[in-house]
Structure 1
Amino acid sequence: MRRIRAAAAGAVTVSLLTAVTACGGGSSTGGGSNDSPKTLTYWASNQGASIEVDKKVLQPELDKFEKQSGIKVKVEVVPWSDLLNRILTATTSGQGPDVLNIGNTWSASLQATGALLPWDASNFAKIGGKDRFVESALGSTGAQGKDPAAVPLYSMAYALYYNKKMFADAGIAKPPATWDELIADGKKLSKGGKWGLGAEGSNPSENIHHTFVFAKQHGADFFTADGKPDFTSDGTVAAVKQYVDLMAKDKIIAPGNAEYAQNQSVSDFAKGKNAMLLWQSASANLKSQGMSDDAYGIAPVPVQSGTPGTGTNVNSMVAGINLAVFKNSHNLDGATKFVKFMTSDAEQKILNTAYSSIPPVKTAQTDATFNTPANAVLKDTLAKSAAALPQVADESQFETTVGTAVKTLFAAAAAGHAVTTESVKAELEKAQQQMPAK
């Protein structure tokens, strides 16, 4: 996220800080106070099944970087529930890390604060050049026409994961390709204490990702072409209702999923409690929870009808993690070296293999590791049927307000209350009223 450029931008950031419910403080050892050329602080996002898993993945690589460069990296793995708020606090206090992971959907919002180092041609040259990166990944690094605020690190796409045995036992021969098929299959699978599909109803980011895709499939978006919020159009209301109705009306998601916020639906799928899961690059997460690769299949996320493709058949957001540098770091040279290391072909192969994600670096992506049948679905989705969330300054507020509105609707559904077009529109109106005035 980026340092504030003007008082107006500051007001936006403050309003967002009050809107984010997760509480997190700034780092006491951030870039602003780190004047040693031999140390760096790094906030990593929680990519694996747990923070401990991430530490096991990252520490050998950080040790390798220290051996090569003489620079020690002090890493903190920050849960997703805290990460955005921690970063926003750091942009205002100046007590942030030197290097940090950000969700790629936040790029434009954090760019607007001015806190992050812009990746202009000169900075890209220090890490091997901008043309090393896949174009779709670069599309989620900041506002169009501006130097990127971050560098792509991991690329991901949503897919439908399905339990092969549960499908066979229910007499279902193939994964659903449309939402009507998913609902029909889900109803066959929702019995005996097990459910057709898992969800994370209390996770605003997950809610946004899915409703964004539904909106695209309804030919709608949550922002107008000039970047103004448009949360209550017929298409966006229909999109949110369709998603929540998977619990409220179709009853293929367990009511308890309304309270899920961090990986619980993945755990349920791994344990055979749910037959299907909509998730970003989940294979490594599932494996770490004891689910063998041959126990599940991977298919494209369903669409309204037909085959995924351009236009209304978008079936994933362009998911991924970007690597950013705080502009006020006292070790910009070391931070740049670390970004170069993390985006090198060798490290891209190691890290993206560990997290079952796709390297956003072209030359690393050609490795045989990333040409498995499972990865083929993800790569095909990213290439043909994924769309970037709006790269607008208010995107983070959008995730918070609309994601929380969907959370409220899931809670209503779990409590047995009716979820109607009117109640959905009312929640989205409230969300739009919380957005910064234009």
Structure 2
Amino acid sequence: MSRIRATAVGAVTASLALAATACGGGSSTGGGSNDSPKTLTYWASNQGASIQVDKKVLQPELDKFEKKTGIKVKLEVVPWSDLLNRIMAATTSGQGPDVLNIGNTWSASLQATGALLPWDAKQFDKIGGKDRFVSSALGSAGPEGKDPAAVPLYSMSYALYYNKKMFKDAGISKPPTTWDEVVADGKKISKNGKWGLGAEGSNLSNNIHQIFVMAKQRGADWFTADGKPDFTSDGAVAAVKQYVDLMAKDKIIAPGNAEYAQNQSLSDFSKGKTAMVLWQAAASTFKSQGMSEDDYGVVPAPVQSGAPGTGNQVNSMVAGINIAVFKNTKNADGATKFVKFMTSDEESKLLNKTYGSIPPVKAAQNDPAFESATTGVLKDTLAKSAAPLPQVAEESQFETAVGTAVKELFADAANGKAVTTESVKAALTKAQQSMPNK
């Protein structure tokens, strides 16, 4: 969910050089140096409330795979704050894992590096065929017309989670469906140390997810039809200002949220400090933090007016995690078997049920668990009112450049500095100028 890139998709930066150093020069962590056909390295993204939670979830499944195939999987759960940096460093050094999770919004950017194994029809046949997967999930696995470089693993959408008791105490009888209602409800709640809405102001990808949707609701995109950055349109500027104004003008987001980058807003929600949070598949995190499902409700994320639907009524990006194989793995057969195992009907049901996400595998969606009040909202949103982020090679630079601009605007808001249309446009102009020339 964040960060920085490499020569294949942009200029090398000091941050990337540091990330490459942190990845190591390549002993046991690199797929390219793994000579054992009976061992795989796997970088998993942090899906649960903590890295330790993910290890507890995944290790029994990896043990099951080893018992079935004789192939041992060495697991590393990588926090979102490091994941893209680590992956991009691996693509330039050639020292990556055998198998890795990627945020689906990065698919086109990582595909452009050429470092990931393409999933053509023959490769898909090895895991049961392409038609096993939901089309919207495949649509976020790379640019249209090209073989994807990853396979859908977990599907998610954003929803609005709200604290039932805090709403009742504030005299609010029903959850909001529009942004105006979010602001109105948030103002009734934001007093005496309580806040209406949580945000992750320093989480670059989360910033992008929110403003992408708000711009879509105004009919604005972040790239032109021929793939050029278009960050300063009226709709894009208005979207960023509306989002930052939730703290700057409406004052329903705590100023401290400007520094949040890794699930702190979920913790505040679980503790009853914040009444609402926009998140993708948060149920498992709330449960691990001691919150009962009876304590909160889940409704579709807000739109500008009316109800979520097609066109400008988009209320979520198509969120999700894809699983990929590093092209220079010395165990391509074992890595493919592992992807087949992780995306099997049984594992897709089990893992998505555990994480509160939606299986991108069609057959796995038949489980009643995915028709609950919580997951039903996510499933319905993915089917009716979610849109994929731009599938362009520069998408990861977009997340860094514009996500950082929003982060800096949140910092201004937290420090009492005015956030104006002019200052937003200036920040987005700077972000656009930092993009690589095509």
User: Helix, strand or coil: the match of 1:393?
Assistant: coil
Deviation at residue 139 of structure 1 after TM alignment: 0.4
1:6 aligned partner: none
Q: Which has the higher mean CA deviation after the structures are superposed, 141-150 or 24-33?
A: 24-33
1:388 aligned partner: 388
Asked if 1 retains the 8 angstrom alpha-carbon contact of 2:11 and 2:436, the reply is yes
1:292 aligned partner: 292
Asked if 2 retains the 8 angstrom alpha-carbon contact of 1:217 and 1:312, the reply is yes
Matched, 1:147 2:143: no
1:332 aligned partner: 332
Letter in 2 for 1:158: Y
Separation of aligned partners in 2, 1:133 and 1:84: 25
Over residues 103-129 of structure 1, what are the superposed CA-to-partner deviations in whole Å (9 max), with x where a residue is unaligned?
000000000000000000000000000
User: Helix, strand or coil: the match of 2:425?
Assistant: helix
User: Helix, strand or coil: the match of 2:110?
Assistant: helix
Asked if 1 retains the 8 angstrom alpha-carbon contact of 2:318 and 2:386, the reply is yes
- Pairing 1:155-174 to 2, within 5 Å after superposition: 155-174=155-174
Separation of aligned partners in 2, 1:11 and 1:295: 48
Letter in 1 for 2:68: Q
1:229 aligned partner: 229
Deviation at residue 354 of structure 1 after TM alignment: 1.1
- Pairing 1:409-424 to 2, within 5 Å after superposition: 409-424=409-424
Deviation at residue 10 of structure 1 after TM alignment: 6.4
1:94 aligned partner: 94
Uncovered stretches (5+) of structure 1, i.e. residues with no partner = 1-8
Separation of aligned partners in 2, 1:152 and 1:333: 19
2:360 aligned partner: 360
Letter in 2 for 1:30: G
Normalised TM-score (structure 2)? 0.96
Asked if 1 retains the 8 angstrom alpha-carbon contact of 2:10 and 2:436, the reply is no
Asked if 2 retains the 8 angstrom alpha-carbon contact of 1:26 and 1:93, the reply is no
Over residues 170-221 of structure 1, what are the superposed CA-to-partner deviations in whole Å (9 max), with x where a residue is unaligned?
1101100111111000000101100000000000000000000000001101
Uncovered stretches (5+) of structure 2, i.e. residues with no partner = none
**What fraction of aligned residue pairs are identical, expressed as a percent?**
77
Asked if 1 retains the 8 angstrom alpha-carbon contact of 2:197 and 2:252, the reply is yes
Asked if 1 retains the 8 angstrom alpha-carbon contact of 2:6 and 2:89, the reply is no
Deviation at residue 26 of structure 1 after TM alignment: 2.4
Letter in 1 for 2:23: G
Over residues 13-66 of structure 1, what are the superposed CA-to-partner deviations in whole Å (9 max), with x where a residue is unaligned?
452654669946325321100121100000000000100000000000000000
1:429 aligned partner: 429
- Pairing 1:126-275 to 2, within 5 Å after superposition: 126-275=126-275
Deviation at residue 331 of structure 1 after TM alignment: 0.0
Letter in 2 for 1:26: C
1:3 aligned partner: none
Asked if 2 retains the 8 angstrom alpha-carbon contact of 1:17 and 1:85, the reply is no
Separation of aligned partners in 2, 1:185 and 1:252: 9
1:277 aligned partner: 277
Q: Which has the higher mean CA deviation after the structures are superposed, 10-19 or 180-189?
A: 10-19
Deviation at residue 373 of structure 1 after TM alignment: 1.4
1:76 aligned partner: 76
2:122 aligned partner: 122
Change (3 A) 1:21 1:272: farther
Deviation at residue 271 of structure 1 after TM alignment: 0.2
Change (3 A) 1:436 1:326: same
Letter in 2 for 1:226: D
Over residues 281-306 of structure 1, what are the superposed CA-to-partner deviations in whole Å (9 max), with x where a residue is unaligned?
10001100110000000000110000
Separation of aligned partners in 2, 1:434 and 1:335: 37
Change (3 A) 1:137 1:16: farther
Separation of aligned partners in 1, 2:140 and 2:12: 20
Deviation at residue 11 of structure 1 after TM alignment: 3.5
2:11 aligned partner: 15
User: Helix, strand or coil: the match of 2:210?
Assistant: helix
Asked if 1 retains the 8 angstrom alpha-carbon contact of 2:45 and 2:80, the reply is yes
2:49 aligned partner: 49
User: Helix, strand or coil: the match of 1:328?
Assistant: coil
Change (3 A) 1:96 1:21: closer
1:405 aligned partner: 405
1:26 aligned partner: 23
1:110 aligned partner: 110
Letter in 2 for 1:237: V
Asked if 2 retains the 8 angstrom alpha-carbon contact of 1:17 and 1:89, the reply is no
Count of matched residue pairs:
430
- Pairing 1:303-318 to 2, within 5 Å after superposition: 303-318=303-318
Normalised TM-score (structure 1)? 0.96
Letter in 2 for 1:36: S
Asked if 1 retains the 8 angstrom alpha-carbon contact of 2:8 and 2:113, the reply is no
